[in-house]
Amino acid sequence: MEEEEGGGGEEEGEVCDTVTQIVLVWFTGHPRFMNQLSCGTEVVSIAGEWLTAAANTNMFTYEIAPVFILMEHVTMKHMRKIIGYKAGDSILAPGGSVSNLYAALAARHKMFPEYKKKGLLALPGELCMFTSLHSHYSMMGAAAAMGLGTDNLIEVPVDEKGRMIPSELDRLIQEAKAKGKIPFLVCATAGTTVMGAFDPLHAVADVCEKYKLWFHVDNQRHKMDGVERSQSITWNPHKLMGVLLQCSTVHFQEDGLLISCNQMCADYLFQQDKPYDVNYDTGDKVIQCGRHNDIFKLWLLWRSKGDEGFEKHMDHLFEMTSYMIQRMKQHPDKYELLNDEPECTNVCFWYVPHRLRSMKAGPDRHKLLGDVQPILKGRMMTAGTLMIGYQPLDHHPNFFRNIISSQAVRREDIDFMLEELDRLGYDL
C-alpha cells in the first residue's frame, strides 16, 4: 500500500472494504485459491493445530514434550523408510528453506568438521555448491547465510522442461575445480517451484558419486524415484500433502551428523545425567533453541488418512491437473500452455485476450501477453473470485502458474476458473 504524504489516510469505510476484500481473496482453503502450494484446510490437521496451541509446549527436550517427541520419532522413521534410507536422522524445521540450510550445513560439516570451531580458517579454499537454474531461491539464501557468498551457488542450466542437465552439471563442477574452488554439495529439485519439473535424480546422483559430492534433494511433491541415493532430502508436508503451515522435514542418510554439526551443550537444558535416554532431547540438533510442535498435526493427519489416503490425496490433485490441461486444450485460442505435459500439479499458461487471438505466434505476441497477465491478476483480486500466481521465467514474459494443492478443488472449480479468466480478461 502506498503511503500518503501528510498522513491523510483513507476513509474508514474504504479501509474496511479493502480488508473484507483481502479476507475474501486470501482464504487459502477456498477451492479457487490456486496461488500457492501451501493452501487448503485439512480439518484433521486443524484439530491437531488446536491441541498443539492448547498444550503450548516446546520440542527441545523429552521431559516437557514426551509424547510429541515420540510422535516425531515414529513419523520421521516412517518417512525415512518411504525415502529408502536404511537408518539416518531427521528433524522438523521452520520451512523448506531452513531444511535446505540444514542439509547444506551438515554437508559442509561432514567435509570440514573443523569449520564449526575455527570458522573460515578451517577451509583450504573457496567452497561452492550447485543447483539448477530453476531451483528454489532458498539455496541462494543458504549460500549467503553460510558465508559462501551467492556467487558460489552455481546454477546449472535446464532443459526445455525445466530439468537440470547432468552433463552441464559435470562441466560446471570441472570448471569450478579448475578455478581452484571446492565443490561440496549438489542440490537436485524434485518438483521445481514454477514449472514443477523433476531433475533426473539418478543421473545427478551419478555425477555426485563421480566427484564425491553431497547429494541433497529439495522435494516438495511426494514423488521420489532415485532419492534413496541422496545424503539428505527436504520434504515439506505443508506443500502438496496439505498439512497446515508450518510443517517441514529434513532427513539424513547418516545418523549423528545433525547433533555433531549443531550441538552447543547448554547445561541448563541438555544435562547428560537425566533419568531417561537423553538421545530423545532433540533441541541440540538444531540452530534454534525452542522449537514449535509441528509434528502433532502431521501425525494426526497421517493417522487419519494412512499411506493409502495420502496416495488418493495425490491422485486427486494430479487428476484435477490433467482435467485442467484437457479443458485448456479444448480452447487453444484462449489459453496458451507453456508446457502441455506438466510433471507436477503446476500448470503454466498465458490467458489470451480477444484482441491477441488472431495475432501471429512469436515473441511480439508473447511480449504483449506478458503485459496482460498482471492486469488480469489485478482484476482477479478486485473481483475476489480467483487467485492464481504469475511470474516471468528465463526468456518467457509473465505467465500464470496455476497450482492445485488443495483437496477441495473439484472439476466445477476448474470449469469456473476457465470461464472466470475469460470473463475478466476477454477485453484486455
Ligand X SMILES: *Cc1c(COP(=O)(O)O)cnc(C)c1O
The owner of cell 469505510 is 13
- Put the strands of the sheet holding 182-190 in their side by side order: 89-93, 248-252, 232-235, 214-219, 182-190, 127-132, 153-156
Strands 232-235 and 346-351: unpaired
What sign does the CA torsion over 44, 49, 50, 56 have?
positive
The interface region with ligand X, picked from 42-50, 64-72, 93-101, 266-274 by CB under 6 A, is 93-101
d(CA 24, CA 385): 8
Q: How far is the CB of 4 from ligand X (least distance, A)?
A: 33
| Cβ-based nearer residue to ligand X, 298 or 352 | 298
The interface region with ligand X, picked from 45-53, 94-102, 314-322, 342-350 by CB under 6 A, is 94-102
Q: How far is the CB of 38 from ligand X (least distance, A)?
A: 7
The interface region with ligand X, picked from 4-12, 172-180, 189-197, 320-328 by CB under 6 A, is 189-197
Q: How far is the CB of 239 from ligand X (least distance, A)?
A: 6
Strands 346-351 and 396-403: antiparallel
Q: Is 96 an interacting residue with respect to ligand X (CB under 6 A)?
A: yes
Q: Phi-psi category of 84—alpha, beta or left, where left has phi over 0 and alpha has psi -120 to 50?
A: left
d(CA 164, CA 168): 8
Q: How far is the CB of 188 from ligand X (least distance, A)?
A: 10
Closest listed residue to residue 52, CA positions, set 63, 44, 41: 44
Binding mask 217-236 for ligand X (x = CB under 6 A): -x-x---------------x
Q: Is 242 an interacting residue with respect to ligand X (CB under 6 A)?
A: no
Q: Is 28 an interacting residue with respect to ligand X (CB under 6 A)?
A: no
Among 108, 110, 134, 136, binds ligand X (CB under 6 A): 136
The interface region with ligand X, picked from 44-52, 89-97, 353-361, 397-405 by CB under 6 A, is 89-97
DSSP 203-249: HHHHHHHHHT-EEEEEE-SS--TTGGG-SEEEE-TTSTT-PPS--EE
Total residues contacting ligand X by CB under 6 A comes to 14
| Cβ-based nearer residue to ligand X, 142 or 169 | 142
- Report phi then psi at 26, rounded to 5: -100, 20
- List interacting residues with ligand X (CB under 6 A): 37, 95-97, 136, 138, 189, 191, 193, 218, 220, 236, 239, 248
